[in-house]
């Protein structure tokens, strides 16, 4: 038997790098954000909204700086002036629309057709602006979608969903997630999410069943209440049975409010947990739909009860939960990888100052 010669080192496939889990962490506090928020609120009111651009930058810098991954925080670099320009442009467009439609209602059709082109540009510009001004360890993010991609994902697919009476809405939602995630980059390396559409149908199916069950139960209580009132017409309108029925109906109404955030959470978990970065690293989202629904609902109630003053704690509470259930599963040493990306990001940095990139959001 002839001896087996060892393969040259160049022909030996490298062993797969070990995976390391890096959970995200939010280190902000409600008290600290309250100080930023109250100053933002007062100065925005005093300046008739002009300071809102600076308020947004201060808020984003705080939340990005409080979000940590693998021992490093994120950062935000946007210029408030660019945000102010974007909002001024949006305000001018809205004002022009209102005035023109007032004098000639037929111009509404012209504005609608123009909006089919303007809206994708506004969406791309806002997302791109925030991505390019967000960094992690001095490496910038970016967003590369074209207006055509935005038009198809944000308008065409949702029109298809409405025309088909909701049957194609899960497809539309998946395309929207693909548009948002798959066009984001970090140091020039792409994120990509991909999953079977039946998973989206399951989520929407759960939401539909929950709505039907709640609506059917509520209508049953309504008919029960009506029948009881008819049988006891001479009695006071609010009998013990009526009060109980109204209380149960209130619980069902709360249930209706909890369903949308729960469904949204399941969609986020699905899209994020199938996201791969640079064909190597994965994201994992494990938020509980019921817990997210409760956090959002209770935040709204507490903000109403406190006349809005609970808002800073509500926002921090939500961010802390979201980050606590988001994990980066990296292939190999993340420090070495980020250093490699940093060395190759120069081409991306040239696009940071694009004059056509503005933030139009609030």
Greatest Cα pair distance, the chain, in angstroms, is 107
Q: What is the mean pLDDT of the chain?
A: 84
Domain boundaries defined on the chain: 195-261
pLDDT digits (tens, 9 = 90+) for 46-70: 999 899 999 999 999 999 999 999 9
Contact 15, 331 (CB under 8 A): no
Q: Average pLDDT, stretch 159-165?
A: 93
pLDDT digits (tens, 9 = 90+) for 336-349: 777 766 666 544 44
Residue 255, pLDDT above cutoff 90: no
pLDDT digits (tens, 9 = 90+) for 188-225: 889 999 999 999 999 999 999 988 888 877 777 667 66
| CA–CA–CA angle 298, 302, 307 (5° rounding) | 150
CB neighbour list of residue 115: distance below 8 Å, 6 or more residues apart: none
Nearest to 186 by CA among 282, 125, 277, 276: 277
| CA–CA–CA angle 330, 335, 337 (5° rounding) | 65
Buried b (16+ CB within 10 A) or exposed e, 138-147: ebbbbbbbeb
Q: Report helix, strand or coil for 73.
A: strand
- Residue indicated by tokens 């209102």: 98
Residue 249, pLDDT above cutoff 70: no
Helices (H), 66-168: 80-103, 107-132, 147-151, 157-163
């Amino acid at each position: 038997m002839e001896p087996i010669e060892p393969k040259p080192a160049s022909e030996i496939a490298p062993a797969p790098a070990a995976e390391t889990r890096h959970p995200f962490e939010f280190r902000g506090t409600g008290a600290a954000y309250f100080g930023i928020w109250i100053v933002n609120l007062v100065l925005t009111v005093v300046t008739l909204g002009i300071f809102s651009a600076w308020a947004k930058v201060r808020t984003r810098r705080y939340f990005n700086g409080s979000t940590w991954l693998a021992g490093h925080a994120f950062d935000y670099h946007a210029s408030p002036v660019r945000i102010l320009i974007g909002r001024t442009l949006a305000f001018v467009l809205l004002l022009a629309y209102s005035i023109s439609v007032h004098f000639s209602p037929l111009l509404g059709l012209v504005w609608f057709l123009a909006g089919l082109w303007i809206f994708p540009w506004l969406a791309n510009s806002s997302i791109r602006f925030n991505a390019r001004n967000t960094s992690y360890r001095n490496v910038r993010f970016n967003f590369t979608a074209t207006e055509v991609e935005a038009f198809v994902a944000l308008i065409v697919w949702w029109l298809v969903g409405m025309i088909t009476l909701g049957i194609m809405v899960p497809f539309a939602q998946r395309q929207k997630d693909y548009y948002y995630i798959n066009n984001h980059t970090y140091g020039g390396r792409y994120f990509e999410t991909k999953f079977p559409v039946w998973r989206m149908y399951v989520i929407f199916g759960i939401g539909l069943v929950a709505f039907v069950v709640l609506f059917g139960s509520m209508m049953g209580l309504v008919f029960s209440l009506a029948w009881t009132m008819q049988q006891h017409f001479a009695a006071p309108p609010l009998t013990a049975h009526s009060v109980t029925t109204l209380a149960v109906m209130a619980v069902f109404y709360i249930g209706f409010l909890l369903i949308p955030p729960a469904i949204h959470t399941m969609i986020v978990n699905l899209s994020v947990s199938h996201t791969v970065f640079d064909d190597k690293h994965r994201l994992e989202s494990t938020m509980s739909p019921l817990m997210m629904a409760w956090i959002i609902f209770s935040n709204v109630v507490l903000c109403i009860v406190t006349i809005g003053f609970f808002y800073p704690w509500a926002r921090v509470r939500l961010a802390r939960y979201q980050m606590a259930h988001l994990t980066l599963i990296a292939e190999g040493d993340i420090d070495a990888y980020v250093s490699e990306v940093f060395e190759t990001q120069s081409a991306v940095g040239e696009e940071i100052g694009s004059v056509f990139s503005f933030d139009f959001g609030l």
